[in-house]
Amino acid sequence: MITAGPLASVPEAPVRVNATVAGASRGLGGELAVARVDLGAIGENTRWFAARASGAALMAVVKADGFGHGAVPVARSVLAAGAAWLGVARTREALALRAAGIDAPILAWLLEPGLVRAAVDNGVDLSVSSVDDLRRIAEVDSSRRAFVHLKLDTGLHRAGAAAETWAEVVGQAARLEGQGRIRVRGIWSHLSHGDVLGHPNNVRQRDALCAGVEVAGALGVHPTLTHLANSGGVIQIGASGCSMVRVGAGLYGIDVFHGRNGPSQLRPAMTITARIVGIRRVRAGEGIGYGHTTLAARDTNLALIPLGYADGLPRVAGAHGSLWCRSRRVPLVGRISMDQCSVDVGDLPVTVGEPVTVVGDGTDGAPTVADWADWAGTIPHEILAHIGSRVPRQIIEAD
């Protein structure tokens, strides 16, 4: 028989706990599973990057709901820790931060045609890659001036003006600036190999951006900000003469070099705990889970964990992964399903309701985000960004 644990209603707002009571509230409360977000770690990581930005301003990248940690609480803690700017992909992400009362400077780099006016009205800076982008922004009827950051493609070949269109884009920006329609606040680009140690593209792209800034100067465009480096870029080439850096992954404790640059000094901010909701005895040879991909090798006990691929556990990780139960690794068995997975706990005297660690912070033997990424053949960023909204975030405030 599978014994069901108590069902919990999932609150809509993140559960906020104060660090002073964190020790006492580290349990799961009434939840089946909780993703704990340690804002102290995010603050420390922010200060670590700020110290390596050699005087340049820090833009904290809080796109994709702050890499799954919660954009609003993350934004508040990075700003308190010294970040000057926030960066997001879509315009709507920036507007959500404004709606939450965050008035720090924000850059959004994926222009949403239906939200250009709202962005300008709300003082959200927009990225520009083309004359078309400029036209869209300049034709907005707002009482506020639109602030833009001209993006030059220096080699990533994603967004940004191609080198051969740069002078045209800058020239048009200069005309619109002269008419008082826009203000060019920044010139920027994005690295293709920031997380590849010693890759020559990093300095090549830096040089290309410098050249682009010079062209702009000659055409009368003098922005106050230039920015290029991401997490890996800051560690490898610092701000590279720019006045700002844009850091995402590292703020959340991701080591973008996977240990190849020595032990990481960044602290993972998210840990995930789930309670055992059932214990099932299986006999040697019995099949486990959908398709019976695993047959029990011996008589054993399975613990049922109420997290599945809809919560962000990669389905392919079922073949290699393990969780942390009573200070040891217990292997996942059978397929990870949409809502649940099973681990082989052998003869451990586990009980229904007790917690297991699904994602740890690297301080014990529990699997880390990097382990999950290895099992799934991906990067930690994807694991974190996929942790589902069904898993309540428990925000641990910094001291």
Ligand X SMILES: *Cc1c(COP(=O)(O)O)cnc(C)c1O
Residues recognised as catalytic = 63, 290
Q: How far is the CB of 8 from ligand X (least distance, A)?
A: 33
Q: How far is the CB of 83 from ligand X (least distance, A)?
A: 12
Q: Which is nearer to ligand X, 231 or 322 (CB)?
A: 231
User: Is the dihedral angle over the CA atoms 101, 102, 106, 108 positive or is it negative?
Assistant: negative
Q: Cβ-closest residue to ligand X?
A: 248
Q: How far is the CB of 389 from ligand X (least distance, A)?
A: 20
CB 269 within 8 A of CB 78: no
Q: Which is nearer to ligand X, 235 or 391 (CB)?
A: 235
φ/ψ of residue 37, rounded to 5:
-115, 115
Q: How far is the CB of 277 from ligand X (least distance, A)?
A: 35
Q: Which is nearer to ligand X, 332 or 384 (CB)?
A: 384
Q: How far is the CB of 66 from ligand X (least distance, A)?
A: 11
Q: Which is nearer to ligand X, 87 or 306 (CB)?
A: 87
CB 141 within 8 A of CB 129: no
Q: Which is nearer to ligand X, 63 or 335 (CB)?
A: 63
C-alpha to C-alpha distances, 278 to 253, 261, 339, 348, nearest whole angstrom:
33, 42, 14, 14
Please tell me the distance from the alpha carbon of residue 248 to that of residue 381, in angstroms, as a whole number: 9
Q: Which is nearer to ligand X, 232 or 314 (CB)?
A: 232
CB 97 within 8 A of CB 106: yes
Return the amino acid letter for 210. C
Report DSSP letters for 51-82, one per residue. Answer: HHTTT-EEEEE-HHHHHTT-HHHHHHHHHHTT
Please tell me the distance from the alpha carbon of residue 27 to that of residue 174, in angstroms, as a whole number: 57
Q: How far is the CB of 32 from ligand X (least distance, A)?
A: 30
Q: Which is nearer to ligand X, 49 or 324 (CB)?
A: 49
Q: How far is the CB of 228 from ligand X (least distance, A)?
A: 9
φ/ψ of residue 349, rounded to 5:
-80, 55
Q: Is 283 helix (H, G, I), strand (E, B) or coil?
A: coil
Return the amino acid letter for 287. G
Over the Cα atoms of the chain, what is R_g? 24
Q: Name which of 289, 285, 233 is nearest 2 in CA terms.
A: 289
CB 350 within 8 A of CB 325: yes
CB 112 within 8 A of CB 91: yes
Q: Name which of 216, 224, 137 is nearest 181 in CA terms.
A: 137
CB 345 within 8 A of CB 379: no
Site residues for ligand X per CB under 6 A: 61, 63, 109, 190, 194, 230-232, 246-250, 256
Tell me whether strands 182-188 and 225-227 are parallel, antiparallel or unpaired. parallel
Q: Which is nearer to ligand X, 230 or 301 (CB)?
A: 230
Q: How far is the CB of 338 from ligand X (least distance, A)?
A: 28
The DSSP bridge partners found for residue 227 are 188, 244
Please tell me the distance from the alpha carbon of residue 339 to that of residue 157, in angstroms, as a whole number: 38
The DSSP bridge partners found for residue 234 are none
The DSSP bridge partners found for residue 333 are 342
